[in-house]
Amino acid sequence: MIEILSELTQGQTGKIIALNGEGGLKKHLMEMGFVKGAEVKMGRVAPLGDPVEIKIKGYSISLRKEEAQNIEIEIL
């Protein structure tokens, strides 16, 4: 099932299948390790829902929900 990264709930994992976004944002996400095939896990979510903590390749990254909406995943 294809989902958007920002829609995961805490503790869910998925595999990145596509990155969307305009120029600089897409490049920035790729530099942080968000590449096709990488496994991600939703960590903590801020009280108001933004930002979210994403665990990828052994480290944690905080992303704004609008950034996470550019990452398509397959839920594992």
Domain that holds residue 64: 2-75
Cβ-based neighbour number of residue 18 at 10 Å: 11
| CATH number (domain holding residue 45) | 2.30.30.90
Distance of alpha carbon 48 from alpha carbon 30, whole angstroms:
26
Total number of domains constituting the chain: 1
Could you list the pLDDT tens digit for every one of the 76 residues in the chain?
A: 779 998 888 999 999 999 988 878 889 999 999 999 999 999 999 888 889 999 999 999 999 999 999 999 999 8
